[in-house]
A and B are shown apart, each in its own frame.
Chain A
Amino acid sequence: MRALVFALAVLFATPALAVLPDEVLEDPVLEARARALSAELRCPVCRNESIDASNADLSRELRLLVRERLVAGDTDAEVMSYLVDRYGEYILLDPSRGGTNLLLWGAPLGLLLIGGAVAGVAVTRRQSAPEALSPEEEAQLTDLMEEEEDKRS
């Protein structure tokens, strides 16, 4: 039984670390750029993880690919477009700021402006609203005050 468990353990073992030591580039500046880029790339076969955090084999290949392009002298933007050409826009965790995505990127400011306008109108209205005395209440008040006057005199 124990032998079987070990056999199974070996069979299903997968890399349990995302970035592996043999991937790390010697140039710390390039490595830092590689890490920053991999944090913004989605692992295409995982549930919702960046290739930087994912253990999948494909993520490892993509991490190596990113480093390969960087060593070859690509800029960050060139590496990204290289990957988008191959894997589609889906791979970008940082959605591009073009086309229909402008709706997404404009949403925070747009929603704030709409909400702010509504709130602004509501607050100004509360300022100028009448001090909640109806005509009857007004009449009652005058009566009471007149009574007081009468008592005093």
Chain B
Amino acid sequence: MIVELGHFALITAFAVAIVQMLVPLIGAWRGWSGWMAVGAPAATVQVLLIGFAFAALTYAFVASDFSLQLVVLNSHTDKPLLYKISGVWGNHEGSLLLWVLILALFGAAAAWFGGQLPETLRARVLAVQGSIGAAFLAFILFTSNPFVRLAVPPFNGEDLNPLLQDPGLAFHPPFLYLGYVGLSMAFSFAVAALIEGRVDAAWGRWVRPWTLAAWLFLTIGIALGSWWAYYELGWGGFWFWDPVENASFMPWLIAAALLHSAIVVEKREALKSWTILLAILAFGFSLIGTFIVRSGVLTSVHAFANDPERGVFILAILGVFTGGALALYAWRAPAMQARGVFGTVSRESALVANNLLLAVSCFVVFVGTIWPLISEMAFDRTVSVGPPFFNAAFTPFVVALAAILPFGALLPWKRGRGRVLRPLLPALGLALAVTGLVWAMQTGRSLGGPIGAGLGVWLVAGAAVDLMQRTGRGDLRARTRRLMRLPGADWGKAVAHGGLGVTIFGVAALTAWQQEGIAALDVGDRLEVGRYEVELADVTRVEGPNYVATRAALRAFENGRELGVLYPEKRVYPVARMPTTEAGIDSGFTRDLYAVIGDPQVGGGWAVRVYVKPFANWIWGGAILMAIGGAISLGDRRYRVAAGAAKRAPLGVAAE
């Protein structure tokens, strides 16, 4: 019964979305206030209906209702409760339902907190948001209905893909979707502005908090996914340049560019049409990502549920929305008059360089990702594009971006002189010294380590200099006091830029200095890796709720001093017929000790693999810092007032 109500709620939500799409749009066109006012309540009703449908599906999973096809295919009575709940979005249909739920949530947030927006702009934003909702609800109802019943329910389900039975699944997709779908707000604002034919500083100030919120959720989502892959896939890789990963990374890059260019619109009323274009592209790449993930046209190591047939439908949605918006852009953008004038050496120019590097690097990732498809279709040549290409093609952009970032952050608006960069000299000297020192310490290895360390120091020290410069002149005590009272935007900027430095250093250090040891160990045998040593103390059979595991106890030593015991496991899920590895990790500030156990070997003993992964946690630590920087900036009083959300920041809304 509840399931049928959920199904009915979803169909009703589709109808409401169509109303939300049409009525406010016509109202704004004809200038009818009554029709425009329909948008806000429609958005509220829509989120309530989809929320109810989502709750109904969750109920079916928790209650193990095996008359529902989706539950049979993705659940089992023995599965722990957490994974029964997260299993709701661990499949194609459910994950799309989560997608539209978050979309509706953003739409409703725009309705609730957009009270100070001009009437027509608000109506149009809600209409565009409604049209996206209508398209995806149609997709769910016509091709991917999660509420399909089975005539003859089986006794039990087929269990969820074991790789997904991890706390990572509970948090990674919702955050990723908050980011992906959050970019729909920037898109709706851009399309509404194109229809209005008007972009001004106020528009920039409305768009920025939404983009910032989406970007920070996307940052957290990507970091969680990377961390999950690190400990779950069994060899400690954190980024594979896999199509599904690139799918989330491309909107992130464009969103980062959009964040920065919206500042220029807001402060200087320049780069208007470029910012509109970025807003369209950011959501366009979100849709491309959804298409890549859901259609399975590109083979991915993370694929868990896809269907080429459905891909065509998403491709149509992608074509209509991105193509339509770009056509509208080509028609209306020339009307956007830029006003601000700026010199070649200025904050504006630096942000143009930032946008150039971020956007081009995004397109490089895009070309690399779809190249196998193009090559096969156009040239009949089956090729693969793997990490070696992306590392070679993408890294120079990151290096260039990081190199110019502290300069750009310090330049004044409008017109700058080289003189203002003088405070950066100590930071530059420190960074170069660190690069040289690291280079000397690790002679004979790749350049990646020293360059990464140098850039990391450069970004962190540059962010510190930037903050200190904001405190003005005077003695140190007065400046320190002022430092604490600086606006959130200043602190957010410094923390996020510093976080980027930390991540760059972590990635470079892990890639350059990782050590690895493989051996067949009998109980009592030892394996030496760098300064570390592990001893296989014991191997036991462990029975979990829905799996059996081989668990090894590995005593770890550093220079002969015992660090503790690692418990790597190799699990087999009988229902899903899949093995997984659970790494045993000793996490540290400067290194992770990462151990995996394999099968008994023919010649005796167990296959054991141990890695020393230097500064691994810095990769995600830096990403968390970037997200915190975004949150601090979002908390800045100026945005809350300007965004029309006098009491609550958009962050609070989206996190519900």
Contact = CB atoms under 8 A, between A and B. Distances in A.
Interface of A: 2, 5-6, 8-9, 12-22, 24, 39-40, 42, 46-50, 53, 88-96, 99-101, 104-105, 107-108, 111-112, 115-116, 119, 122-124, 126-127, 129, 131-132
Contact of A16 (B343, B389, B396, B581): B581
A86 to B, nearest CB: 14
Q: Which 8 A-B pairs have the closest CB atoms?
A: A93-B386, A94-B388, A17-B598, A21-B520, A8-B574, A9-B572, A100-B379, A48-B301
Contacts of B378: 100
B33 interface: no
Interface in B362-379: 363-364, 367-368, 371, 375, 378-379
Nearest to B242: A48
B558 interface: no
Given A16-B598, A123-B342, 7 more contacts: A17-B607, A17-B609, A50-B387, A90-B384, A99-B379, A108-B396, A115-B360
B352 interface: yes
Contacts of A95: 371, 383-386, 389
A20 B543 contact: no
B364 A6 contact: no
Given A20-B607, A21-B520, A21-B601, A94 B386 contact: yes
Given A6-B548, A16-B570, A92 B607 contact: no
Contact of A12 (B520, B543, B577): B577
Given A93-B386, A127-B341, A104 B301 contact: no
A111 B396 CA distance: 13
B578 interface: yes
A21 B516 CA distance: 12
B518 interface: yes
User: Which interface residue of B384, B602, B609 has the most chain A CB atoms within 10 A?
Assistant: B384
Given A20-B607, A22-B602, A49 B352 contact: no
A88 B383 CA distance: 8
B339 A123 contact: no
Interface of B: 233-235, 237, 240, 242-243, 270, 274, 299-301, 303, 338-344, 348-349, 352-353, 355-356, 359-360, 363-364, 367-368, 371, 375, 378-379, 381-389, 393, 396-397, 518-520, 543, 548, 570, 572, 574, 577-579, 581, 596-599, 601-603, 605, 607, 609
Nearest to B575: A8
A111 B383 contact: no
B363 A123 contact: no
Q: Residue among B371, B378, B543, B602 with the most chain A CB within 10 A?
A: B371
Contact of A92 (B353, B383, B574): B383
A40 B299 contact: no
A119 B356 contact: yes
A93 B387 contact: yes
A24 B609 CA distance: 12
Contact of B364 (A19, A96, A111): A111
Given A9-B548, A22-B602, A95-B385, A126 B242 contact: no
A40 B602 CA distance: 28
16 contacts: A9-B574, A12-B572, A16-B570, A17-B581, A22-B520, A47-B301, A53-B233, A88-B382, A90-B384, A95-B386, A100-B375, A104-B368, A123-B344, A124-B344, A126-B338, A132-B341
Nearest to B380: A100
